[in-house]
Amino acid sequence: MKLEILGTGCAKCKKLYETVEETVKETGITAELSKVEKINDIMKYNVMMTPALVINGKVVATGRIPSKEEIKKWMNI
Amino acid sequence: MLKIFAGWITYSVLSIAPGSLSGKAVSFFIYDIIKIFSLLIVIIFVISVIRSFLPPERIRGILARKNKYFGNLLASLLGVITPFCSCSAVPLFLGFVRAGVPLGVTFSFLIASPMINEVALIMLLGMFGWKIALIYTGSGLIIAIFSGIVIGTLKIENLLMEFVLANKASEGQFSYEMKWKERLAYAKSYTLQILQKVWLYVIIGIGIGAWIHGYVPADLMARYAGADKWYAVPLAVLIGIPLYSNAAGVIPLVSALTEKGVALGTTLAFMMAVTALSLPEFMILKTVMKTRLIVIFACIVGLGIIFTGYLFNLILK
């Protein structure tokens, strides 16, 4: 599973990264975690509010930090 | 009701002598804290629910199709209900401009969104009453609309960085329709998030405000920043620029200072500068536009705010 966190490095973006990292650890799933920080790469996802979370190429949340429960729900597709 | 309750806590529970200076300050503090936090919880929740119907993708769709003047008006109104975080300024800006929203209309949105935000409005409503909150909102909207129209008329798209207009926004939309349960959950988490961010500032601001209310002699500020001091308005705007993230703490403080003689127009100008002109936002915007455009933007908005300050110093005597 591929998880991407979009954001230009603001405080909320770091918080989202940590939340996702913890969630992945809790579930024990092997997942590839990465940050997308270049504005042009972020715009490829057509996202206007950061931070945003992308799972397997699909934008699941923008402009907010979702809860671990939500993230787990999206991961168990 | 609330006043009686605050008085009861101060004089009966904390047994502070009625009529004393500290009693006045403490009951003022308790009254304001209860009032502001109830307002914050209720209003942010309601606005978040409304907001869940208008994600930026939808707003962009609405604005891309509108003509100039009506577009500026609509952009400013939509800016009011959109939350603004300076970290989202760049993606928002690119998303709008690349989808064909005119530059001036985009600026109207970018100005209104931080200036008329729900936390500032609630603090104004709670500390100054609905009339001042309304005046603030009205003049804020006019500044956003007017500045956007001026920037649109200047035709300065050449001051954007080259890469901005190099790509068109893809129309592949992220359009997920939330269910009511999710809207409420979103509103709840957003309200909590804002409260977490501002509660300390609010308490400290109200605390210092209550102290000023109880201890500082009336008219002290009138000597330095009364309506007859011409330099008070521009000075207030300059001081306001670096205070961006502390709007929640600044307003109760300013409210107390107004009581001690700062002219209301000066106060309004100060608060607008705190919310609308932000140094970190200018730095962030440098990735998408040349410094000249940022300077033009800051000057137009700054002049609008200074004008508003003088105007209400004249009217609200």
Number of domains in chain B: 1
Q: Which of A2, A9, A10, A67 is catalytic?
A: A10
Which chain A residues are within 8 Å of B51, Cβ to Cβ? Answer: none
| Residue range B42-96, pLDDT digits in tens | 999 998 898 888 888 888 888 887 777 889 999 999 888 887 777 778 888 888 8
The answer to whether residue B10 sits within a structural domain is no
> What do you get for the CA distance between the two ends of chain B, in Å?
31
Nearest to residue B122, comparing CAs of B39, B238, B24? B39
Least confident of B4-18, B84-98, B257-271: B4-18
Is residue B157 included in any domain, yes or no?
yes
- Between CA B60 and CA B95 the distance in angstroms is 8
Complex ipTM value: 0.79
Residue B42: inside a domain: yes
Is B260 a domain residue? yes
In a domain, B8, yes or no: no
Residue B171 has pLDDT above 70, yes or no: no
The active-site residue out of A5, A13, A42, A75 is A13
Tens-digit pLDDT profile for residues B287-313: 889 999 999 999 999 999 999 999 999
In our burial notation (b when 16+ CB lie closer than 10 A, e otherwise), range B194-203 reads beeebeebbb
Phi, psi of B116 (to 5 degrees): -105, 70
- B139 domain residue, yes or no: yes
Q: Which domain holds residue B144?
A: 23-161+180-315
Model pLDDT, residue B178: 72
* pLDDT-derived band at B244, boundaries 50, 70, 90: low
What's the distance, Cα to Cα, between the start and end of chain A in Å? 10
Name chain B contacts of A47, Cβ cutoff 8 Å.
91, 95, 174
For residues B154, B160, B164 and B168, what is the CA-based torsion angle, rounded to 10 degrees? 10
Query: How far is residue A28's CA from residue B184's CA, in Å, rounded to a whole number?
Result: 30
The CATH fold assigned to A2-75 is: Glutaredoxin (3.40.30)
Give the per-residue pLDDT at B138.
95
Q: What is the pTM of this model?
A: 0.84
A13 catalytic per annotation:
yes
Residue A25 exposure: Cα atoms within 13 Å on the Cβ side = 6
Catalytic residue flag (residue A10): yes
- pLDDT in the model for residue A66: 84
Domain ranges of chain A: 2-75
Instruction: With respect to residue B174, please indicate whether it lies within any of the assigned structural domains.
Output: no
Specify the higher pLDDT residue, B245 or B292: B292
Cβ within 8 Å, pair B173-A46: yes
Task: Give pLDDT tens digits for A28-41.
Answer: 888 888 898 888 88
Identify the pLDDT of residue B37.
Answer: 92
B88 in any annotated domain: yes
